Amino acid sequence: MVLNKPLFLLLHILAARQVTNPNPPQWDYRDTTRWNADYPTCGGRQQSPINLDHYTSIGSLKPALKFRNYAQPFARQLTLVNNGHTADITLPETVRGPRPTISGGLLDGVYEAQSLHFHWGAPGNPRGSEHTVNGYRYDVELHIVHKNMKYGNAEEAMQRPDGLAVLAIMINIVDFPNTYYPGLNRVFNSLPYVRVADTNTTIPSQLSLNHFLGDVDTRNFYAYQGSLTTPPCSEAVTWHVFPRPLLISRELVNQQTYFNNPKRSINFNVLPPFCRLKSSSN
């Protein structure tokens, strides 16, 4: 994997102090603008997702992203879970022992891979990425979630501005793709087995995180400080968003129509209107 100078976007946004409901209700995607009524941080000033504008971004000399153990197979088969909102996979250790990690880019420290999940559209509204680039919305967005290794658990990390790091891989649907991605193919082929919320299935293959990263151009990305895109919307995430999409087959992605959740027709958050980007160079 060759890494070079990334495309870098810095946001400097003041985050307001929030008081959270100790017993917030369940949330869904029917009206994301109302999340902040029960999760006040969702109305903060450093919320994700955002539109990434090439023309106001800064070509940066920040270090390239470094990937460790991404090519190592996981020590056990992965379990795909319908958590009621999306298809989610908790990532185990690798055959070498440690989980995959990332460093470099906008990150100060080493971040350990924890999980991955997807955001997509719906019939009649197929474009479902959360981030947009120059106003363009992709078909699917894959998030690989990492935790700063200096924090003991995800709950602690979510309370810290440097607690989490997410890689956002964009995916577009085409009729005849030229590349086969083992991780993506096996996940989408498994979706019919988790149609109902709170069900799961084992993916019958030994995979590595590289099988999900595919041939994405890791030399070029947008990076910014933001938040989780779902409640509690913790402003604890360093985002690295790769604008060049992976291409997968339309027939394969049609499997997601089996993913049955009556509480939503889509599973992506809208761009928050209160975020204002401010670019700077280092």
| Residues identified as active-site | 85
Q: Which residue from 141, 195, 143 is spatially nearest to 173, judged by alpha carbons?
A: 141
Name the residue among 236, 278, 277 with its Cα closest to residue 18. Answer: 236
Which helix (DSSP H) or strand (DSSP E) does residue 184 occupy? Answer: helix 182-190
Give the residue from 167, 166, 180, 175 showing the smallest Cα distance to 246. 180
Beta-carbon contacts of residue 222 (< 8 Å; ≥ 6 apart): 7, 8, 9, 52, 57, 133, 239, 240, 241, 243
Q: State how far the Cα of 279 lies from the Cα of 269, in Å rounded to an integer.
A: 23
Nearest to 158 by CA among 62, 253, 232: 232
Quote the CA–CA distance of 2 and 34 in Å, as a whole number. 43
Q: Which two tokens stand for residue 137?
A: 């919305």
* Inter-residue contact 173 to 253 (CB < 8 Å): yes
246 and 172 Cβ atoms separated by less than 8 Å: yes
